[in-house]
């Protein structure tokens, strides 16, 4: 499954192009075993008649006919410098998890994998976020009541990758045949491009967060202004009724103040949480890059001392 996901990205993923696919498997005891997968084909705007649901059903039907695992247990997606915390992923995972309780999303990071270590993580929506998504109320009050923050939107599921003995033997033989010619290349600090791109993405998300903060502060000012207008209206209404009472006239009928001053709709806060999640991911990426470079510097210094 891992090799299929990597192969899918290498064939169809270019730059920040995201590739996606379906995970198949079964639940054994308290484990979700992912045993097969197939990709979503890339289609353009010209393929308006392409039906993803029908495509999935036909693929799973074909796999069942040849006696291959065909039970739907989630989906996978590649990411570009960790930019996977999006509304599209949230909505897709909610749909999967609402229909198939045990489903997960596998996030494959080709940038980190190209640095020498496989980056594959599995995520699920937390029960708190599932309840909020069912209600479809992303107002500040609803998120505060549910105690939702970007730290508890997703829960990471540990992954254990298992190979058959034959595959382990093959990998061992390949490792002997494809030995690194110059092992000093492993100590190269050529990660400035990755670090610079992560910093640029981090600054972009911080700018978006600042814009969201400005929108929310504007909403708070408008609410305060409306409250003052309500208070002034009620005072005028009370003075007018007192004057009418002194003249022996009946007071004015009560009016629904919410009809005169329509409540302002607060801006949705889910986007801000997703942006905060992305900021946290980029910070972790930068931290990992710095740690890797620091480790390489120590290794290079140790190697130089050894050679001396």
* Paired strand residues for 155: 124
**How far apart, in whole angstroms, are the C-alpha atoms of residue 16 and residue 148?**
29
**Tell me, what's the pLDDT at 158?**
94
What is the value of pTM for the model shown?
0.73
Instruction: Kindly state the average pLDDT of the residues 202-217.
Output: 88
Flag whether pLDDT at 47 surpasses 70.
no
**Tell me, what's the pLDDT at 182?**
52
CATH number of 1-188: 3.40.140.10
**Tell me, what's the pLDDT at 14?**
73
Q: Where are the domains of the chain?
A: 1-188, 221-258
Flag whether pLDDT at 145 surpasses 70.
yes
């Amino acid at each position: 499954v891992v090799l299929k996901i990597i192969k899918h990205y290498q064939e169809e993923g270019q730059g920040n192009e995201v590739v996606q696919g379906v995970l198949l498997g079964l639940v054994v005891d308290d484990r979700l075993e992912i045993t097969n997968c197939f990709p979503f084909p890339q289609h353009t705007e010209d393929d308006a008649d392409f039906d993803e649901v029908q495509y999935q059903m036909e693929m799973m039907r074909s796999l069942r006919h040849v006696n291959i695992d065909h039970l739907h247990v989630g989906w996978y997606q590649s990411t570009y410098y960790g930019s996977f915390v999006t509304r599209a992923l949230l909505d897709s995972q909610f749909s999967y998890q609402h229909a198939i309780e045990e489903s997960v999303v596998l996030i494959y990071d080709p940038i980190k994998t190209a640095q020498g270590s496989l980056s594959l993580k599995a995520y699920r929506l937390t029960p708190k976020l599932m309840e909020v998504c069912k209600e479809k109320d992303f107002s500040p009050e609803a998120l505060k009541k549910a105690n939702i923050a970007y730290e508890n939107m997703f829960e990471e599921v540990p992954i254990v990758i298992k190979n058959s003995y034959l595959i382990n033997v093959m990998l061992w033989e390949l490792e002997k045949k494809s030995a690194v010619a110059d092992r000093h290349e492993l100590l190269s600090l050529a990660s400035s491009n990755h670090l610079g791109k992560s910093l640029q993405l981090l600054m972009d998300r911080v700018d978006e967060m600042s814009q969201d903060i400005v929108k929310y502060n504007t909403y708070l000012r408008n609410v305060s202004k409306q409250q003052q207008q309500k208070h002034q209206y009620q005072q005028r209404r009370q003075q007018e009724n007192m004057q009418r009472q002194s003249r022996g006239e009946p007071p004015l009928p009560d009016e629904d103040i919410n009809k005169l001053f329509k409540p302002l709709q607060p801006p949705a806060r889910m986007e801000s949480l997703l942006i905060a999640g992305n900021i946290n991911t980029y910070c972790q990426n930068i931290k990992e890059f710095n740690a890797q470079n620091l480790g390489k510097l120590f290794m290079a210094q140790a190697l130089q001392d050894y050679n001396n």
